[in-house]
Amino acid sequence: MIESRVTSHEGPSNGSWERSPRRVTLRPVGTPEFEGPPRSRRRRSSNSPSPSETAAGFNVLAQAAVFYALPDGVLRSIARRLRHLRVPKGSVITSQNETGDCIFFVAEGRCQLAIERAAGHRVAVAVLAEGDFFGEAACVLSERNQASAVALSDCKLLALDRASLFAVLSQSSPEIAHLSRLAQQRKAAFAETAAQASWGILLGEAPVVAVYSPKGGSGGTTVALNLVGALSRRYPGQVLLLDLDLPYNHAALLANLVPTTCLARTAQTSPEAFEEVLLSAVLYHAGGPMILPGALKPEEADLVTPELLARAIGVLRRSFRYVIVDLGVALSESVLAVVDHVQHVVLVVTPEISAVKASADALEILVTLGLPPDQVSVLLNHRSPKPAVLRSSLERMLGRPVDVEMLFDGARPDEAALHGNILSLTDPKSEVTRGAETLAHLLEATQPLAAIAKGSTSGQVPHPDGGS
């Protein structure tokens, strides 16, 4: 029996771990002994998972964001190569800066990833639950572990080593390329979080700005994403986009990010762990924006309840300088719940008869819900070179003036979406960028910023390119 020296850990809430070593044995499920992560040179004839374990492994793999698009046959082939492990609460599963070659999938329980910035000072960068995974950088990039992983509860893990993964998926396959991109993305996000040292950098509460379009195809998500980009140029790492364009929210995809979890999957999290789990679901874009997906699958949209949104928005307002919410189209119960928490609404309208009529109705609904007219800004988004409705006619139909106009930008928005670019970060000459900058200036003039915590030199996290 091989024993592993681990660090005792009782689920810290402040990112620090106790340093009392103890001897703990990691016991694989259904096998007589644990011999470490699986290696291709070992024969698995005696330790192959049982049919029930293979089925359980298949179900866990199907939940993983990078694998659920794979054909069932490929998933089953991977599931047969998994090592099933039981990990006691407090066990250190992987250590920072150590080499490894396994991806670990969480089948049951919760794990924490933390980076040690200095002796005795650890920063929690992620909390992982069922369906999440870690170790992908060590596996597909052959890099040392960026963070240590510790079991916050008794866990069941599934380990997949590099040789087994490449035995099923070619190293040149789109899936491995996708996994490599995710590994790079997570590295940047974890480094950013560790550098920031704490998510709670702000005092007071940030304003919540909702971007809403009552008609599909009006470009609401493009406006929201580029508004976040424009604000992030001023405050990198401090502006969050909460994507509630449910059930098909694509902001992360349009920003070339790979989500592994989302707001919906925090619904069953205990109150004491909710903030940590929620913030670990936030994606970091290299240009500065932060994005929190509402759901990863359409069926998860029902988990985003008004109660969950109230809890989440409370945490996000304490953690960021601006919270921008993409509300999508439908005035669902969740959308109406968000309106109760917003300080400003950006109404996106295109110069089309049906869109203007829907926007006029939406304005009436917002006023009925108690939102003062001066807390609503109208953004006119030109999606075609020749508008069907003139601006003067549109303003007359709405009964109020247009506050921001985003002129037609040719093929740039579509090309940006195709390449995963945010125009307000990459193309200063774009009409979308100019409109987003105008909107950002408007919000800065009308919405007070959350105060910077005392003791902070600037309140800003380092910009990826070294700027501010």
Q: What is the mean pLDDT of residues 324-350?
A: 87
Q: Rounded to an integer, what distance in angstroms lies between the CA atom of residue 264 and that of residue 23?
A: 37
Determine the residue type at 432. V
Radius of gyration of the chain from its Cα atoms, rounded to whole angstroms: 24
Q: Which tens digits make up the pLDDT trace of 31-78?
A: 333 344 444 444 444 567 788 888 988 988 888 877 777 888 999 999
Whether the per-residue pLDDT at 202 is higher than 90: the answer is: no
Q: CATH number of 4-196: 3.40.920.10, 1.10.645.10, 2.60.120.10, 1.10.3720.10?
A: 2.60.120.10
pLDDT at 447: 67
Give the residue extent of every domain in the chain.
4-196, 208-446
Q: Mention every residue, 6+ apart, whose C-beta is less than 8 A from residue 434.
A: 406, 407
Q: How confident is the model at residue 120 (pLDDT cuts 50, 70, 90)?
A: low
- Decide: 252 and 242 in contact? Cβ < 8 Å: no
Q: Does this chain's domain 4-196 share its CATH topology with 208-446?
A: no
The CB-based long-range contact list for 12-20 (8 Å cut-off, 24+ gap) reads 12/112, 12/124, 13/272, 13/276, 15/114, 15/122, 15/123, 15/124, 16/120, 16/121, 16/122, 17/114, 17/122, 17/150
Least confident of 19-33, 265-279, 354-368: 19-33
Going by C-alpha positions, the residue among 321, 309, 365, 297 that lies closest to residue 231 is 321
Q: Rounded to an integer, what distance in angstroms lies between the CA atom of residue 372 and that of residue 369?
A: 9
Q: What is the mean pLDDT of residues 273-285?
A: 90
| Strand-pair category, 4-7 with 148-151 | unpaired
Whether the per-residue pLDDT at 330 is higher than 90: the answer is: no
Domain 208-446 has CATH 3.40.50.300: yes
Q: Which tens digits make up the pLDDT trace of 398-455?
A: 999 999 999 999 999 999 988 889 999 999 999 999 999 999 999 988 765 544 333 3
pLDDT at 346: 96
Q: Mention every residue, 6+ apart, whose C-beta is less than 8 A from residue 124.
A: 12, 15, 112, 113, 114, 276, 280
pLDDT at 320: 92
Q: What is the mean pLDDT of residues 356-363?
A: 93
Q: Which tens digits make up the pLDDT trace of 74-113?
A: 999 999 999 999 999 889 999 999 988 999 999 999 888 8
> Which residues lie across from 381 on neighbouring strands?
406
pLDDT at 460: 36
- Decide: 447 and 209 in contact? Cβ < 8 Å: yes
Q: How confident is the model at residue 116 (pLDDT cuts 50, 70, 90)?
A: confident
Q: How confident is the model at residue 369 (pLDDT cuts 50, 70, 90)?
A: confident
